[in-house]
A and B are shown apart, each in its own frame.
Chain A
Amino acid sequence: MSASTSTILNLPDQTTATMPKRNYLNNEHGLLSWLFTGDHKRIAILYLISITFFFFVGGAFAGLIRLELLTPQPDLMASDTYNKMFSMHGIVMVFLFLVPSVPATLGNFLIPIMLGTRDLAFPKINLLSWYLYLAGGTFTLAALIFGGVDTGWTFTTPLSTHYLNTNVITAATAIFIAGFSSIFTGLNFIVTIHRMRAPGMTWFRMPLFVWAHYAASVLMVLGTPVLAITIVLVALERTIGIGVFDPTKGGDPLLFQHLFWFYSHPAVYIMILPGMGVISEVVSTFSRKRVFGYTAVAFSSVAIALFGFFVWAHHMFIMGVSNYSALVFSLLTMLVAVPSAIKIFNWAFTLQKGSITFETPMLYAFAFFGLFTIGGMTGVFLGALGMDIHLTETYFIVAHFHYVMVGGMLMAFMAGIHFWWPKMTGRMYPESFSKLSAVTSFIGFNLTFMPQFILGYLGMPRRYHAYPAEYQVLNVLSTAGATVLGVGFLLPLLYLTWSLKYGAIAGNNPWQATGLEWQIQSPPLTENFTEIPIVDHEAYDYEWLAHKTEQEVTTVG
């Protein structure tokens, strides 16, 4: 498609374009001004750098896993090593990438600006959360360097407490600490949203991005402490031998499962809800329409957060929970699909009769629609009791949650990074390369995980490094897809870095979007607004944007 006819991209005249002289990036200089910053935007950048690092660490493990599975025989690594590979892949990706991905980077950067305030409520706690994240990451790397951990990311007892001689305690400490980083992020968001909104910014004028983060923050604040105490109990059981989960002493391993999934299922929504917030912004901007059913989308976020707390036992259908509780949890699992579907349908209606353009964020958003829908629908399969018995602990599960987490959250993350890149850095990414990477990762993703649905349905169990020869064709396809997917994720790393210096200057509002963040200079001032705005219009009000006068001062210098 030719960019000139179908684009809404509105860059300033390149002969006269300049970066604002004063902004949060050049306000202070030196490494220490970053390490001791209280600025939510700088902390977001710190987070972005660190989660990118851990994403590629986790990605490297994924690559090694796929490489081992290229052949039916265990030829690349020993079975123990393979166990460590998928455990570290899970731990790094879940706790160090997916949970903080959108909230700690984009959320941190944007929520105060979207609410029309100068910073999050607690800047020091925000910085503390980044240091806790780093400490968690360091412990994870320590666990890795001292020989890895092979419990899987689920720390299943009594395997983790009695039968393994790997670095369970180190990894558990890592997750405990990283958990507090997540609690503090969520706490900061909730207080900011409640107490720091600009005059006129009512609850139902907030962008849906903020609503989604609000719901996710509630989950972080209420769910994560339960994981913390569970991990403490695992550690106590492993070190001094208390008997809470140990059946030989009268404890019950099933209790561990209940406590663990009480967090770890809501954690799935911690991971996906902020991504859904990104999609709401992107879809509205590139269809030039208010999000259809704003209130429904806002409340569906809250509904997901609420229902999300009552479905955890669907991870335990084959673990010997009672039939009745399985039945109830199966029903509740079906229910949680409803608000997700509300979102998908409302986004679809937003597109209807919109003036749609296909910039990179929109391409990623479309990838999200397709992939998340498949991921969500297969989740309903798995929520059905009979199907679950057949499919659970097979590659069907692996494919399902990768469709939700990678196909959903990661695509949304990429959409968001591209969408707000001009705001964060003041420069555009190269459009053609980024479109290529969006398409590449979409194709690569499907090639990787679609065969895994089939493999799982045919009965290939997860977490094994060897498999019968008849599964090889599908596994080769999957590994080939992973390679393509890897290229799709490596490309943005290169061209986004390139664009920091050579990208076109973006100007304040290259997308002609309505959010408050687009009405200020790019990159923003340290204090975001020269004067706190008064909000007198709804979110996604394109009429307001069209009539907005050019009088206000949006750039200093």
Chain B
Amino acid sequence: MDNTAVATHIHEEHAHVSLPQHRHHFETEEQQREAGTFGMWLFLLTEIMFFGGLFFAYLLYRNWYYDAFVAASNQLSIKLGSINTVFLIASGFFMALGVWAAEVRKRGLLVIFLILTTVLGFAFLGIKYVEYSEKFEKHHVPGAHFDISEFVNPPIDAKTGKAEQKPLPPDMAAKTQVFFSLYFAMTGMHAVHMIIGIVLLFWLTWRAYYGDFSSGYVAPIENFGLYWHFVDIVWLFLFPLLYLINRHPLS
């Protein structure tokens, strides 16, 4: 092969039975699968940069308006947040089982696991709806109707007769709006990713039901699994940052 570089490279074309999903421009199925997974990881990298902007903003304002962030953070329900965390982790668990079911070519199990993943995703969004609507009732949604009175004059606890938390001076209390801006932007972007994921889950469940992934072609399930786990992981950072960190510095 000295001077004839553009010449004859004959690979065994029909040495094995290729899948119908094998695309002609890939030399081998292995190459196709690797390329797909690599592409998905790169896409997740872009997602990290996307959320990174929000996390950076959070970091900055948390340092500037520490007291406001603590007070506003106390408004979030640890109970609901924890339930949601459990839902998401369980959903991710079933997704992982779904990938396994696809790999061992069990169509029925795959469909069941995908449905469970979807249901838990919906449960998460449902609880998120409850949390959001409470914010609307309390006028803690940033914008024209934002109300800081609860942070300036915290409600009195009926049992102890004391304020539930330290009152904030009005200028600092106004900064709780920054917290809630970020809260809605971050959890909202996360929820948008969940909704996109659920739409994809419907589509995948449909295809799984008709046996598309029961003959050794599992790339879409695997790659969607990566996406779904990524969405989980984003929440696993959001939950401590928004709900948990320095929650009750008074006690």
Contacts and interface: CB of A to CB of B under 8 A. Distances in A.
A89 interface: no
B159 interface: no
A190 B43 CA distance: 11
Given A117-B25, A225-B50, A226-B49, A536 B57 contact: no
A229 B51 contact: yes
A229 to B, nearest CB: 4
A549 B49 contact: no
B143 A240 contact: yes
B234 to A, nearest CB: 13
Contacts of A548: 3-6
Interface string B46-85: 1101111110110011001100100000000000000000
A187 interface: yes
Contacts of A259: 53, 56-57
A544 B53 contact: no
A11 to B, nearest CB: 21
A221 B42 contact: yes
A206 B235 CA distance: 41
B38 interface: yes
A29 interface: no
Contacts of A229: 50-54, 189
Contacts of B142: 240-243, 249
A230 B53 contact: yes
A517 to B, nearest CB: 11
A189 B47 CA distance: 18
A531 B141 CA distance: 62
Interface string B151-187: 0000000000000000000000011011011101100
Contacts of A122: 35, 39
B34 interface: yes
A48 B17 CA distance: 39
A236 B185 contact: yes
Interface string A245-267: 00001111001000100100000
**Residue of B35, B182, B184, B189 contacting most chain A CB atoms (<10 Å):** B35
A112 B60 CA distance: 43
A225 B49 contact: yes
Contact of B1 (A118, A223, A536): A536
Contacts of A331: none
Interface residues of B, number: 53
A236 B57 CA distance: 15
Given A118-B25, A121-B35, A244-B182, A535 B50 contact: no
Contact of A241 (B1, B6, B144): B144
A322 interface: no
A532 B39 contact: no
B251 interface: no
Interface in B1-39: 1-11, 23-27, 31, 34-35, 38-39
Contact of B50 (A190, A228, A532): A228
Contacts of B23: 123
Nearest to B34: A195
B86 interface: no
A20 to B, nearest CB: 16
B9 A199 contact: yes
Given A243-B178, A250-B65, A255-B60, A195 B31 contact: yes
Contacts of A240: 141-143
Given A241-B144, A244-B182, A536-B1, A516 B6 contact: yes
Given A122-B39, A187-B46, A242-B184, A536 B5 contact: yes
Nearest to A199: B9
B45 interface: yes
Interface in A527-552: 527, 529, 531-537, 544, 547-549, 551-552
A222 B44 CA distance: 10
A544 B143 contact: no
Nearest to A217: B42
Contacts of A454: none
Interface string A504-537: 0000000000001001100000010101111111
Contacts of A134: none
**Residue of A192, A225, A531 contacting most chain B CB atoms (<10 Å):** A225
Contacts of B184: 236, 242
Interface in A88-126: 112, 117-119, 121-123, 125
A114 to B, nearest CB: 12
Contacts of B143: 240-242
A244 B50 contact: no
B53 A551 contact: no
A527 B24 CA distance: 9
A544 B142 CA distance: 67
B25 A123 contact: yes
Interface string A197-232: 011100000000000000000000111111011101
B178 A190 contact: no
A50 interface: no
B35 A243 contact: no
Contact of B25 (A119, A232, A516, A519): A119
Nearest to A514: B5
A194 interface: yes
Contact of A222 (B49, B60, B177): B49
A244 B46 contact: no
A187 B35 CA distance: 11
A374 interface: no
B53 A226 contact: yes
A403 to B, nearest CB: 30
Nearest to B39: A191
A259 B49 CA distance: 11
B6 A195 contact: no
A143 B193 CA distance: 27
A233 interface: yes
A357 interface: no
B46 A118 contact: no
Contact of B43 (A118, A123, A187): A187
**Residue of B24, B38, B42, B141 contacting most chain A CB atoms (<10 Å):** B42
A398 interface: no
Given A230-B53, A250-B61, A255-B60, A243 B46 contact: no
Given A249-B178, A534-B1, 5 more contacts: A117-B25, A187-B42, A222-B46, A529-B6, A552-B6
The 4 closest A-B pairs by CB, nearest first: A242-B181, A119-B25, A225-B50, A241-B143
26 contacts: A121-B39, A122-B35, A122-B39, A123-B23, A125-B39, A187-B39, A221-B46, A222-B45, A222-B46, A225-B50, A225-B53, A226-B52, A244-B57, A249-B175, A249-B178, A249-B181, A250-B174, A250-B177, A531-B7, A532-B9, A532-B27, A533-B9, A534-B1, A534-B5, A537-B5, A547-B3
